[in-house]
Chain A
Amino acid sequence: MKQSAAAIALLVKSGAASALEITQETLASIDRDNAALNAFTSVFAERALSEARTIDKARAKGRPLGPLAGVPYCVKNLFDVKGETTLAGAAVNRDRAKAAKDAVLVSRMQDAGAILVGAVNMDENAYGFTTENTHFGATRNPLDRTLSAGGSSGGSAAAVAAGLVPLSLGSDTNGSIRVPASFCGIFGLKPTFGRIPRTGSSAFVHSLDHLGPFARSTADLALCYEAIQGPDAHDPACAQRPIEPLSPLQDGTTLRTAALAGYFHDLSDAQARDALALVVRTLDITQSREWQSASKARAAAFVITACEGGALHAEGLKRRYDDYEPLSRDRLVAGSLVPARWYLAAQKWRSLARAELLRLFDDIDVLIAPATPFCAQALGTEWVEINGQRLPARPSIGLLAQPVSSMGFPVCVVPIWQSAYRLPIGIQVIAAPWREDRCMAVAKLLEDAFLARGPN
């Protein structure tokens, strides 16, 4: 299923294909290919076929169809799906009660006509960047199955990159949409904090959790983003802003763009630097900016994540420590012990760093930086070297993503393929709060220049 979401919706609306045929084909692909990837943890065949029949009946009766009519998609398994157990990647959640209703985003996707085909793998409780899940297995990168798909929304990215579905939903607390998009060579959008309601999804870090889409093209990413945005009174962090459509994507050539230097350059390897340089040349970018507080912003994100995540899971860890993910349980326990003074210092630095980043947008519309310090690494990698610095691999994957998300600014990750390198790497296109339109406009410029694309 390498057809785009837009093409599928067109086929279904025109009657050239039925939603049922598309869904059956998708389910057959998942059945054939998932064992090698371990992206899906649940397949909702019955629900998917029922949703498809509903779309086909609506068309037969001449009713208007949504913009995603008949488009198959999957969700990270931290989204509530009515009648299913919300795992959030955790074995301890297997005995949770089944969800009484769909998450808000699942309802919105259904309203848009999309077909939910399954839930996909993730790092336990979204605490990780590799989707190496001890209980549910590692998700493998479709570009090379010996490699990590990135995380924590690794299943969401792998399913799209493998062509099993054209769209998926994930979450991003510290980079969990941007890292797997970078590793798997697809587009991902982390909208502004507060843009997308989180109602009906499992929390990890209330201060930092975002939800967002993955796709193989900017057009599909925009379609999905438009379907899921909008206010929701049940998420207190969700801004009560009206829906702000992206389509048609604006002309990015008029935007003032600069590259982020300093911290982002220092922590990028040769491939990441080359990718940024290629984007700079292609867009004819002549300016750079340094965000002095970037390192502080990352440190703040790290402390806040450990602390809020640790507090959230402290009671569970006390009861069932042995059943938690060995890769993250000790940091969660440690995080639950963080003194309040450290946590408040982190939130204060977040205030300062956010104000400084906002000032950079006084005379710039878009900033660009690599999404990850390096491309996808082999599963099980423990240490990496970045420009001569030996660093622990798993936490270092998020070094370039964490500072930005802890500020809540919108970011589109654009997969850059370079002839000198076997694998793609993502570039973050960052805009001021609520300006997802600008991120997407620059992403489309790169796509139109044939620099950015989903996997063949």
Chain B
Amino acid sequence: MNRDAQFAYVKEALALAQFALDENALGRVQIEFGRIADIAGELLSEPMPEDIEPLPTYRP
């Protein structure tokens, strides 16, 4: 997802979730989303074996 696509995604996703933010707040959220996307990119860019199970939220 490039930056423009990320910004558009954030705008649409906020509307779907019924978040009402002013333009300044929207801009800040878009920047924060971009930071998360950059860091997630490190995780998404490398192939990983398909049989890896995600670590569960709760562990016994």
Contact = CB atoms under 8 A, between A and B. Distances in A.
A314 B20 CA distance: 12
B55 A237 contact: no
A299 B58 contact: no
A299 B52 contact: no
B54 A334 contact: no
A335 B42 contact: no
Interface residues of A, number: 40
In terms of DSSP, what is the predominant structure of the interface of chain A? helix
Contacts of B60: 239
B43 A346 contact: yes
In terms of DSSP, what is the predominant structure of the interface of chain B? helix
A352 interface: yes
Interface in B20-51: 20-21, 25, 28-33, 35-37, 39-40, 42-44, 48
A410 to B, nearest CB: 15
Contacts of B42: 295-296, 299
Interface residues of B, number: 34
B59 A193 contact: yes
B57 interface: yes
Contact of B43 (A299, A306, A330, A337): A299
Contacts, number: 100
Contacts of A239: 59-60
Contact of B19 (A300, A318, A335): A318
A106 interface: no
A365 B57 CA distance: 27
A350 B28 contact: no
B39 A318 contact: no
Contacts of A337: 9-10, 13-14, 17, 33
A347 interface: yes
Contacts of B17: 314, 318, 336-337
A293 to B, nearest CB: 10
Contacts of A408: 59
Contacts of A338: 36, 40
Nearest to A298: B39
Contact of A344 (B33, B54, B58): B54
Contacts of A341: 44
B53 interface: yes
Given A296-B42, A346-B43, A351 B53 contact: yes
A236 B58 contact: yes
A330 B25 contact: yes
Contacts of A58: none
A223 to B, nearest CB: 28
A330 B54 contact: no
A207 interface: yes
A334 B10 contact: yes
Nearest to B13: A337
Given A334-B32, A335-B36, A350-B54, A303 B10 contact: no
B2 interface: no
Interface string A201-227: 000001100000000000000000000
A348 B29 contact: no
A334 B35 CA distance: 9
A352 B48 contact: yes
A342 B21 contact: no
Interface in A353-392: 354
A246 interface: no
Ordered nearest first, which 10 A-B pairs have the shortest CB separation? A347-B54, A334-B32, A334-B33, A330-B28, A342-B40, A337-B13, A350-B55, A331-B32, A299-B42, A345-B43
Given A207-B55, A352-B52, 9 more contacts: A299-B39, A299-B40, A303-B36, A333-B29, A345-B43, A347-B54, A348-B54, A350-B54, A351-B55
